[in-house]
Structure 1
Amino acid sequence: MSRLAVSQAALGDGRSAIRYVDLAQKALDRADPNKHRPSWISFYDQAELDHLAMVARMHLRQWPDAERHAHRSLAYLRPDLKRNSALVHAHLAIAQLGQRDLEQAIGTAQSLPEDMMRHARVRGLLDGFTEQVTTLAPHNLEARDWRAHCRTVVA
């Protein structure tokens, strides 16, 4: 249901997307956390649900809600899931930028470990983030520092 929410949001159907997020949350709330689940579904936990809800909200350009889900996802995320953490942080930076909070967005992006910035999916998000930063504040000092940092890390 959470993946359906992302798909519906990408299609612009916000009402269905939010309904599917709510249904996914209710289903997860009913699940017994102590019961063994097969490996193909065991990674779906509260962190993953909030991550997908964040992506859905981002498609809908609902930046404050996307940021809220990003913070929740990070709070529940297992420490061993470094790539997921990097993806959520990259999305969080984009959600903050969507709210025109340039300084906080760049700070969030800069908190990413350099090795994770080179991961293809994270790098793709950061490339889009960097384009948005450049458009929003082409002459801003933090924006210039961010672009220089990106060039150094991913070169």
Structure 2
Amino acid sequence: MKIKIIFLFLIVISMLVLYGCSSKRNISTLESSITGHWQTIPKDKNNAPIDYYFGKNELIYLEKGTKETVTYKVVRSNESENWIEINTSGTSNSFGHTSKITFSNKERTELTEKVSLDGLNPPSSKSDNSVVSGVIDSLKNALGNSFAVESKLVYIDNKISP
């Protein structure tokens, strides 16, 4: 009986150790570091956070119950400066864009996403993309190519979908 209890105890401990090792987050590269569930830190406390779920070349945004899925590809990165640049495909109704993602700590659990006017791509379903492109060009002329929107995000968990 005592041997059975010890054997059962060892099995339970082994399972816990294996579970702990398997759920460790991989931050060995910038590309693997963005994988998982992230959440924006709203600048205005009245705004709800936006959830980002980064999978392998797929990004899911969840904002106020509305889910949007886009594909992304890594455009370039710089390990020594701790940033990665991705290009999202957008959808038939929303802009694709280029984002520069900069990690702000060595654990890579906090980041800043910067989207500039220069990196916007018009939606594919719009019947007259020349009008949309004209509006973007007008904004660039008025605000400058360097105008950008920044969002701060924190890592939540390793989920890649809601």
Q: Give the TM-score band, short-chain normalised.
A: under 0.3
Query: TM-score, length-normalised on structure 1?
Result: 0.25
Higher helix share: 1
**Greater share of strand:** 2
> TM (normalized to structure 2)?
0.24
* Larger RCO (CA within 8 A; separation ≥ 6): 2
